[in-house]
Amino acid sequence: MKLHAAGFAAVFAATAALPAQAADLVIAMPNWPSGQATANILKESIAKKFGLEAEVRELGTISAFVGLDKGEVDIQPEVWRPNFEDLIRKYVTEKGAVVLSGRAVPAWQGLCATPEAAAAGLKTIADLNDPAKTAVLDTDGDGRGEVWIGAPTWLSTGIERVRANSYGYGANLTLVEAEEDVAMAAVDAAVATARPMVFYCYAPHHVFELHRLARIEEPPHDPAKWKIAQADDPLWVTKSSAATAWDTAHFHIAYATAFGKKHPDIAKFLEEVDFSPEEVTAMSYALEVERQAPSDYAKKWVDGHAARIDGWAKQ
């Protein structure tokens, strides 16, 4: 039966008024490449093995934890420690609203120098306190060198600012905050043009596959000299001090306790997910260098690792 124009319009209007089908669960997606890849790999894997459709929602880690607590978010794919110890203490230890998976990917973070920066004498934290040495990092002619310390929304960026103030090099260097893709493009350009550059770095990460970088040497981590105020305090950066290297880092998948009780099979699956540092580096490379879309990369990854995912889901 054919509908005349008025009838079609009425049917279309009625259909358009219907609410969109809600997803079965929500996965928070961070704004760094490995977290974006992992969020989508979990989405595809859960759909394949458990028949549930997930919405991948871009959220910062602090907002994600609030959502996990309120029941608005179910999974956070990459929670870094020690960066988010305050959130873990509040939502995992004290409130019991969030669970961290037992498996973790080993990692590290600090400052890196391009080969030209290292050759110019920028090898240690003490070197960054020497304006005569850091002058080679000046790209805008204002007499002060620049150091990228992270994206504006990263908690680690605030901690890097604390470290710069505590070590003292914040007094003679401009601390630049910018999105990671902008910073990595700057690293590529610096290496290509033999220009010295020092920047915040972390691993696993694809940048170490592309360039021969030196890690800036600094005193080993000392808890007595690492005092980070709670991030919900607007003045937490000025109230903090950290004049040593970062503590040993690693990251976990997190999920809401209520979600784990409702879907114990998926909770068990999340506990079995075991990415290696090499795989995380490959994720970063695929998204940042090859410019693959996170969803497209995830679909190919899941198709190519069917047996591995079956093992994670085995009850």
- pLDDT tens for each residue of 241-290: 999 999 999 999 999 999 999 999 999 999 999 999 999 999 999 999 99
Q: Taking all residues of the chain, what is their mean pLDDT, rounded to a whole number?
A: 92
Query: What is the residue-wise DSSP string for 176-208?
Result: EE--HHHHHHHHHHHHHTT---EEEEEES-THH
Q: pLDDT band for position 23 (50/70/90)?
A: confident
Runs of H (alpha helix) within the chain: 5-17, 33-50, 61-70, 85-87, 115-119, 125-128, 131-134, 155-167, 180-192, 207-210, 236-239, 257-262, 264-272, 277-288, 294-304, 306-313
pLDDT of residue 315: 62
pLDDT, tens digit, 9 for 90 and up, residues 221-235: 999 999 999 888 899
Q: Average the pLDDT over 188-198 and give the result.
A: 97
pLDDT band at 8 (very low <50, low <70, confident <90, very high): very low
Structure confidence by residue, pLDDT tens digits, 30-87:
999 999 999 999 999 999 999 999 999 999 999 999 999 999 999 999 999 999 998 9
At 61, list the tokens. 């880690």
Q: Give the span between the Cα atoms of 108 and 200, in whole angstroms.
A: 11
User: Which residue is it, tokens 């000046």?
Assistant: 138
Q: What one-character DSSP code corresponds to residue 213?
A: -
Listed in sequence order, the residues at least 6 apart from 244 whose beta carbon sits closer than 8 Å to its beta carbon are 218, 219, 220, 221, 222, 225, 226
For the entire predicted model, the pTM comes to 0.84
